[in-house]
Structure 1
């Protein structure tokens, strides 16, 4: 069974019949003829036999990976941000924002390449820019550099501003679990004003695997068109 999380910048793919670990493919390099059996994410509906909503996959993946009845899970992607709040083992709240979180992951990656920065070597700054959009927020970097701030410090403030915005979007929890490629960015993780538990970039794939198991346990549920999240 081919499972896929079709991200805007990267696709995460798992062949459950052959692979023990997923593979990551840049979206622009994925063969146009590729089709998954079950998928989520950008273009999932047209590139798979069956697709589920990203919030559904995120919630199910979180419930598989987090051994707690109550938690907040925030997913930060290339194009948008989304969160689910789990209470007593079920979804209590959720949100998805492609505007206030616009292209934040993509922009952070782009800045590292442009300025040749190693995010693992940059400490989190004390303050961050007030940012509500990854693309438009870059103007803060340019203004700061013109004012004499180093490029590294300016980008660090930008990244902290992105993290603070994402934290506010998730309703400012004291503790959260993080999903997505930015889990591997030490500066981003350290920029949150709360305790953060990075889960990696395969949480939505875990949600797809959970969906498969649920279907195997109760195949009539799929035929009846039951809601994806209980």
Structure 2
């Protein structure tokens, strides 16, 4: 990525060798406020709202650094301080934050906020034993609030809430479904296993994709 953020990958070595420079700097009063209190280590103790404001300020400046940055503000220092604030706010290490910011420079806050939200629980129907519609009705009768996953999946169900443990229902114990993330189903759809193929599965644990491969052609596949 080359824009006002620069090449963040070039900062990685600098971050490792100059960790002290990642500590928040003294910005102008119109940018940063409420820094009076200190923690046990003598560093400014900032709450989440203060960090959020700082992050918004840094992103605003970096989006048009030439026209928005104060004359005495160094771009590299601005980026490093932004990384420090993001790490403090979202509890990421500096290495990972640099990678994420390099991938999503303008959407970084949205990406980090999305990671704070619990992902939905999804299950995959074993169509060798039942149909998705029949499974859904059986689980609804047990107090499970669910819907079909997405148009791209003919076997997935998304569960919003449940009055019973999903891993202990008679349907689960009978092998009518498996708990499996939606993203884990996509590789098998993309793979589109065909009859007679031999498939080498190098990531078989706990076996969600492996069993999905077998189910795809009524277990008439050689799965290694």
Q: Scaled by the length of structure 2, what TM-score is found?
A: 0.24
> Comparing both structures, which one devotes a greater share of its residues to helix?
2
Structure with higher RCO (Cα < 8 A, 6+ apart): 1
